[in-house]
Amino acid sequence: MNGAGPSRGTRTSRAARAARAPRASRAKGVACAVVLVIGLLSAGAATGMAYLSHPLGPWDHQSYDHIQLFGTIGLSFALLTAPLAVLAVARRWLRLWWIVPCVLVTVAAWGRLTVIYPAR
């Protein structure tokens, strides 16, 4: 060989890598989607439980504790899944709309803990 061009082994390995790249990217996207769905369903369920707790009055400390607990759990799950969603969208494993549920659940959980928290 005169060294003018790539060897045959290099061409086949590049072709094999090019063929594997979409499959690897798709697998990463599916893995991220599964983790995001589980995290967002957990965050949504906890946030929903926080919204379903209604205190009977200022003496009903158990309901206030439930709102605080489930709101915190929902916000924690939402904040844990948000970086994964941003990473997956930035790497183009997932589409941009995957950030919308993260934002909605985060705002809903934060709202229940702060703005929509019942007065004592």
Distance of CA 103 to CAs 11, 37, 75, 82, 83, Å?
45, 14, 11, 8, 11
- pTM for the model stands at 0.77
The full set of domain ranges for the chain reads 26-113
CA torsion sign for 105, 106, 111, 117 is positive
Cα–Cα distance for residue pair 36/102, rounded to 1 Å: 9
* Percent of the chain's residues with pLDDT above 90: 65
Mean pLDDT score, 67-75: 96
Cα–Cα distance for residue pair 73/116, rounded to 1 Å: 16
Which band of pLDDT confidence, cut at 50, 70 and 90, is reported for residue 119? confident
